[in-house]
Amino acid sequence: MEGLTHLLACIQDISGGSYSNDIMELTTDKYSPYVREVAESVGMMMVKIEAREFALEQANEDLKQNIVDTVKAAARGLSLRDKYTRGHGERVGQYAKRLALRAGFCEDDVWTLRLAGILHDIGKIGFSDRLFFNEDIHVDDDMLAEIRRHPEAGFSMLKGLKFLGPAVEFVRGHHERLDGTGYPNGLQGDEISKGARILSIADVFDAITTSRTYQDAMGLDKAFPILRKLAGPSLDPELVEIFIKEIQEGGLEVVEDDYSDCLDDIEIN
């Protein structure tokens, strides 16, 4: 029967998830009533499936947006408690993004690293007031223990948000060091993901190039030697050199003071 072979091929394609419009050509008068009737039924079924998949996809996008909004709210909450963290998170996100791009990461991984950079200190939202408002350089053992808990605290806050993917582990690992002296888990070498290594470099670089209560901002002439000194025992040497080249060629990243506006730039890919 004319068109039967074509009809079977179209049905096989549709069953495999390939919704070709070829099936509609089989509903024309040039084919037998039997072929037309089956083609029309299959075509209608295909349209219904497409409609349901579109609705599901839209629901997933809405869910993702709700998750991002929740993450933004948490980051804003931290920024209200700690003025320094407000600018620091966005700068680390920008530096991580630039390093990832320079290192040849794919678009999705670059986006994930920027998000992880923005959120890397989210665990600090549980810090006591004495840590946020301490103007003294001295940090006692209790305060140090509290500081060292923030990567794990951030991981615990974010781990249920599956949409964040590996960003959650990057947040957890941004204070790990290649020689095993970091925290929270004392990981060594290849045990530390590349994403966490990138965050570490971005975090250290921003810490030494911005003013804090205990230090003035360092220029690049001092910052680069410090990064190179830390390369090997603490930071990834290859990524350090890639980052230095990126900053030499692209300059320091300038960001807006309003951290909330920076978070609003996050888009779902």
119-135 pLDDT per residue, tens: 898 888 777 666 655 55
pTM beyond 0.85: no
Say if residue 184 is preceded by a cis peptide, omega within 30 of 0. yes
* Top mean-pLDDT range of 17-21, 115-119, 230-234: 230-234
How far CA 86 is from CA of 125, 212, 253, in Å, comes to 12, 13, 15
Question: What pLDDT does residue 133 have?
Answer: 57
DSSP symbols for 236-261: -HHHHHHHHHHHHHH-PPP--S-HHH
Beta bridge partners of 179: 188
The Cα–Cα gap between 231 and 220 comes to 16
Mean pLDDT of the chain: 79
Region 190-211 average pLDDT = 94
81-109 pLDDT, tens per residue?
Answer: 666 666 788 889 999 999 999 999 999 89
- Which residue from 51, 44, 39 is spatially nearest to 4, judged by alpha carbons? 39
Question: What pLDDT does residue 257 have?
Answer: 41
Q: Which domains does the chain have, with CATH numbers?
A: 4-52 (no CATH), 82-264 (1.10.3210.10)
